[in-house]
Copies of this chain bind each other. A is one copy, B any other.
Amino acid sequence: MSLRYALLAILRVGPLSGYDLQKQFSQSVGHVWHAPDSQIYPELRKMASLGLIEGEEQARGERGTRRVYHVTDAGNAAFEEWMASPLDYQRVRDPAHLRAAYLETTTPEAAREFLTRHIAVWEDELAQFQGQLDAIELMSSTMLSRRLSVTPPANRERTIAYKRFTYEGLAERARTEIDWARRGLELVDRIEG
């Protein structure tokens, strides 16, 4: 259900076509909420049919068209309501820790490969979060500057502060995973050595 609000969050900044939105998405909110285009387009249509957004057909060249969506008052209200309502936490479903719990059933090599890959995956994530944090410091993130340009000056500080807060949390989580897996490698060496 959060996809809807992730899309609203981006559209609230300003009208966008599905295609542009999808690009914005992968560069900003996509870091916390992934969605492929095959999910975005239908969801936009559904949101339009619910009156949360409105699409405007625009000509593009001779025959081409694109639909540019903007958020309606109802859409803004829905977003704000969501922001003020309790978040629903879904149940854990964590393949990595599931596997970790049974590492004694496999070979030391497989255990090491699993942990090494875990480190690599989270180092990748960490690098992306770091990049976003750097962009925030420089205020050069596309999404951020787009958001800032429509944000009254008094709010810019808050906008930046919360974005930094978010990515710092993500970066820390990544570091926690990396540290954990490193300790796991040491453990494998110790008990399988």
Contact = CB atoms under 8 A, between A and B. Distances in A.
Nearest to A6: B98
Contact of A106 (B84, B106, B155, B177): B84
Interface in A24-66: 29, 31-34
Nearest to A158: B104
Interface size bracket, A side: 35 or more
Contacts of A96: 87, 89
Interface in A144-167: 155, 157-159, 161-163, 165-166
B87 A99 contact: yes
A83 B102 contact: yes
A2 B99 CA distance: 9
A68 interface: no
Nearest to A105: B83
Interface string A1-40: 0100110010010000000000000000101111000000
Given A31-B92, A83-B99, 8 more contacts: A29-B98, A32-B93, A79-B105, A87-B95, A102-B162, A104-B162, A162-B187, A169-B180
The 9 closest A-B pairs by CB, nearest first: A34-B91, A83-B106, A104-B158, A169-B180, A84-B110, A101-B166, A32-B97, A103-B162, A100-B166
